[in-house]
């Protein structure tokens, strides 16, 4: 037996579309990170970026549980004296909803060059329109609480099964 290692020329990338409306931020980020890493493929290898592209729409309509709206803080520093700034999650969702999802997904990716390459395949948009319709992204079903599917694609799946 020998260990399978995918070659660069054998990697085929797809485009996936995720509607973040009414999805919990953490559950959304784990599914997006899994697709960006390529863990959903049988050809997954830790040392090669085998992941796919992900387009997230309706980032401004993502939700969080508990009291994270006021307690979760985003910090930055300008490297000048007195340059420390903090914003809570509610303010970040109002001003930069794309950054909230990007930060959540970035925290679930490897902290090296490979993780940076994976993060470049993520596209996040605050509204329902996106500029990647030419790639014809496949809708990605994000699993909700207790393993039950949630989101707008559930209705489409239910209509197909009926």
* Mean per-residue pLDDT, 28-36: 95
2 in any annotated domain? no
| pLDDT reported for residue 149 | 55
Number of domains the chain contains: 1
pLDDT tens digits, one per residue of 76-108: 999 999 999 999 999 999 999 999 999 999 999
161 in any annotated domain? no
7 in any annotated domain? no
CATH of the domain at 113: 3.90.1180.10
pTM of this prediction exceeds 0.75: yes
160 in any annotated domain? no
The residue segments making up the domain with residue 27 are: 17-155
**Cα separation of 152 and 154, whole Å?**
5
């Amino acid at each position: 037996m020998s260990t399978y290692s995918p070659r660069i020329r054998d990697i085929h990338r797809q485009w996936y579309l995720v509607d973040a409306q009414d999805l919990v931020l953490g559950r959304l980020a784990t599914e997006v990170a899994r697709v960006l890493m390529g863990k959903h493929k049988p050809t997954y290898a830790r040392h090669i970026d085998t992941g796919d592209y992900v387009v997230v729409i309706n980032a401004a309509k993502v939700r969080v549980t508990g009291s994270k709206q006021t307690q979760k803080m985003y910090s930055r520093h300008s490297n000048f004296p007195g340059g420390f700034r903090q914003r809570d999650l509610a303010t970040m969702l109002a001003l930069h909803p794309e950054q909230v999802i990007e930060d959540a997904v970035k925290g679930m990716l490897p902290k090296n060059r490979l993780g940076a390459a994976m993060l470049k395949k993520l596209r996040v948009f605050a509204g329902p329109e996106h500029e990647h319709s030419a790639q014809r992204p496949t809708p990605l079903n994000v699993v909700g609480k207790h393993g039950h599917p949630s989101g707008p694609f559930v209705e489409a799946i239910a209509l197909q099964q009926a």
